[in-house]
Structure 1
Amino acid sequence: MRYYIMVRLTKQVSALAFAISVAASTSAIASEGGFYVGGQLQSSTFGHTIQRDTGSATNPSITTFTEESDAAFGIHAGYKHHLTSDVFVATEVFYNAEGAETRNINNMLQTELELNSTYGINFKAGVDVTDKFSVYGIAGATVLDFDIHNSYPFAPPMRSGSADEVGLSLGAGFEYQIDDRWSVRGEYIQVQDVDFSPLPEVAVPGKINPNDVDYSTLSFGVSYRF
């Protein structure tokens, strides 16, 4: 009888020790930080606003807005650090190859913008909801690299130029740990009201109208931790 009790107790202790070791290992997956790299696919939306003052009582000031969405892909690299067992911060740099294009027509002035790329740095702060799932907020700086083309109906040639503008990026995301190395994530980021200097108008030499662009992206990516 005593032997049976000892065997049963030993099995229970062994089972408890195994459960504790499994829990510790899964918890370590979430709590570990370090350097990571990865890639993402995303849907990017690019918007353009023109505030054009025609300088005429018969043709009052006109504000027009247009936006287009297109697919993009990119890469990222960063470092993640846990402040506590479930609270973390991260710093990340990124680059996206973009393809969104807009065409804004404002009182005969046609302006086309072609978004070539976005890149910058993001700072993240979040919390581990479970051993493998976490959520976080995002704040950073995003550079929008785009080309500008101006034209008028029946009045060629087209004027062209380019711009690199920096905007404040804000967003949120989630991450799911597949194992101790690989994870998947989803993020939504917005960059609002970035002013830029457009090309001078041909019809009115030297005339500059206020212009700004907006940018938002919904991305899904994968990361590998070293």
Structure 2
Amino acid sequence: MKVLMLSSSRKRDEEYLQHGLSFINSHLNAIKEVLFIPYAGVTLNWDDYTQKVQDALPLLTITGIHEYPNAKEALQSAKAIFVGGGNTFNLLSHLYQQDILVDIQHKIKQGTPYVGWSAGSNICGNSIRTTNDMPIIQPPSFEALNFVPFQLNPHYTDYQAPGHNGETRAQRIEEFCVLNPNMPVIGIREGSALLLENGRLTLKGELDAVVFTASCTEKTKIAKTKQTIIKRKQDLSHYLQK
């Protein structure tokens, strides 16, 4: 599989998708025709969303999956698949509604390049249970594409606003780990990406990422959480083992 999971569409104040251009071009390896899945868009309609991606990537030909009369047939002929950010619940709900989760999995397992950012990366994991989004719609299941057998948290940050008394991102992820001690969560910061290629998983970009895990001792039966920092270009292939 060739799967590029970008944390975000922007890094700091850079233009849309520009920080990921080198990652994307290398990943596509001269492929110019892309099928775009804009289902995460809610306040941005899908035609405008597709055009936004086209404007950001003028050397590619971007066609929205919604422009085809049959989504399954569109996937069959796709040379590369992009899935954009927005609301992860809306994205997954539409993938189930169109009944194309398995179709996407088959295409990617056959070697078709996949690029996702934000919500489009979230669905690459085991489920969407560690998304940052509000559940504005209820998909039939939280189970996702499972390209990687762990959870993802794009846009990961350690920032806590002064005077804010709600849980930090880390605390929320730790809660997930306590209830799911056998499921790691990798938090990737804006401007970073995970690359799955040739059975190898690596961290791309300038910033470190964080892996959250939890383990339960036989004596206490209470799960203890742990954070592990992973460095850029670090080989993370051991996290592909189920």
TM-score range, shorter chain: under 0.3
The structure that is helix-richer by fraction is 2
Q: Larger C-alpha radius of gyration, 1 or 2?
A: 1
The structure that is strand-richer by fraction is 1
TM (norm. structure 2) is: 0.21
